[in-house]
């Protein structure tokens, strides 16, 4: 029978306790000291696994595909519905750009703002090869098979089905892979809410800031006078996000409740439109680089 190397018992015991103490020390080191170098170690370990994870992910998707809400629709209606949603997103984005431009014109008295991003967006197709969901699903990460080499940069928005936000690329993407913080882990995102079935101008749509909850949903507070109902769609309206991603759909209003401690405020519970941990592939979106930019 094969046996491992034999050590002197005392040396072996020292090695064992030394390893345990090192692991305990690493476990308790402040996070700031772990940034950077631990990620490189993780990248080295993950790198050879990525092709196999790709195959396993493909097999999983084949065995248990994403539930498709349009699955029961005839093909033509389904295609029309998809086109309609994308057109609606594009229209909302144009509305936002229009408002933005009008504000600039009014405030800065400029006749033509320079380099407005969003007219042309940059997109990169990526496959999700691994998911990590340590606590149910509220916090975790997705690993995409594209990185710096494919011009992925931090802050790019991962979208599914054209205009549904899945997450954002976190800082320092790897050379050949990048980590995506799932949309359920993102907090503090500004959104505007739109009804389904009737049009509402983007400037008139009620807005709020999403606060992430542990069950993977968000809450946001609005004044009682705001007209919002269950089923309304939350769209990204955060100026810190790439313009190309603004007005993308992020969630749907699940509940509207009055707050007991603040009668003039109502609390909305918003649920993501798509489960980020079941998405097999995404499109990473960013604003187009300006001509001559490095």
Partner 1 sequence: MRWGVFIVMLLVGIVLDTSFMQVFAVGTVWPAIVPALVTFVALHATRPTALWAAFLAGLLVDCTSPSIAFLDGVRPYQLIGPTALGFVLGAQLVLPLRSMVVRRNPLALGVLTILFVLATMVVTTAIYSARGWYAGTLPPWMPTGTAVRYMGTEALGAMSSGAIAVLIAIPLNRTLVILGLAGSAPWSPRRG
**Distance of closest approach, residue 72 Cβ to partner 1, in angstroms:** 23
- Alpha carbon dihedral 144, 145, 150, 152, in 10-degree steps, equals 10
The span from the CA of 285 to the CA of 294, in Å, is 18
CB-side exposure of 167: number of CA atoms within 13 Å? 30
Report CA Rg, the chain: 23
- Please say whether the beta carbons of 188 and 210 come within 8 A: yes
**Distance of closest approach, residue 231 Cβ to partner 1, in angstroms:** 23
Strands 164-169, 211-212: pairing is unpaired
Q: Token digits for 123?
A: 């997109």
**Distance of closest approach, residue 167 Cβ to partner 1, in angstroms:** 10
**Distance of closest approach, residue 283 Cβ to partner 1, in angstroms:** 20
Which 3 state secondary structure label does DSSP give 57? helix
117 vs 133, beta carbon nearer partner 1 = 133
Does the footprint of partner 1 cover residue 153 (CB under 8 A)? no
35 vs 123, beta carbon nearer partner 1 = 35
Does the footprint of partner 1 cover residue 220 (CB under 8 A)? no
Q: How many residues bind partner 1 (CB under 8 A)?
A: 66
Compose the 119-148 pattern: x for residues touching partner 1 by CB under 8 A, - for all others. ----------xxxxxxxxxxx-x-x-----
21 vs 196, beta carbon nearer partner 1 = 21
Does the footprint of partner 1 cover residue 285 (CB under 8 A)? no
Among 79, 84, 123, 154, binds partner 1 (CB under 8 A): 154
Q: Is the dihedral of CA 30, 180, 144, 72 positive or negative?
A: positive
């Amino acid at each position: 029978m094969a046996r491992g190397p034999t050590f002197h018992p005392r040396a072996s015991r020292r090695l064992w306790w030394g390893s345990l103490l090192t692991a305990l020390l690493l476990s308790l080191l402040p996070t700031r000291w772990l940034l950077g170098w631990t990620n490189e170690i993780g990248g080295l370990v993950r790198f050879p696994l990525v092709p196999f994870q790709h195959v396993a992910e493909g097999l999983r998707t084949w065995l248990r595909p994403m539930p498709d809400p349009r699955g029961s629709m005839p093909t033509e209606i389904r295609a029309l519905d998809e086109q309609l949603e994308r057109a609606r997103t594009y229209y909302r984005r144009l509305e936002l750009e229009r408002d933005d431009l009008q504000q600039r014109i009014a405030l800065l008295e400029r006749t033509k703002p320079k380099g407005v991003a969003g007219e042309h967006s940059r997109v990169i197709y990526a496959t999700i090869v691994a998911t990590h969901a340590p606590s149910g699903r509220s916090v975790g990460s997705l690993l995409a098979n594209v990185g710096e080499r494919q011009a992925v940069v931090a802050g790019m928005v991962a979208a599914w089905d054209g205009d549904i936000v899945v997450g954002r690329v976190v800082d320092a993407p790897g050379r050949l892979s990048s980590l995506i913080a799932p949309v359920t882990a993102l907090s503090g995102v500004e959104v505007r809410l739109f009804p389904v079935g009737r049009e509402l101008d983007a400037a008139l749509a009620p807005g709020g800031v999403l606060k992430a909850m542990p069950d993977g949903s968000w809450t946001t507070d609005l004044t009682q006078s705001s007209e919002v109902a269950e089923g309304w769609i939350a769209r990204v309206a955060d100026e810190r996000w790439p313009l190309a991603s603004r007005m993308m759909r992020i969630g749907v209003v699940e509940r509207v409740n009055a707050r007991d401690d603040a009668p003039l405020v109502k609390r909305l519970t918003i649920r993501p439109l798509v489960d980020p941990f079941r998405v097999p592939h995404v499109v990473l979106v960013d604003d187009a680089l300006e001509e001559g930019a490095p």
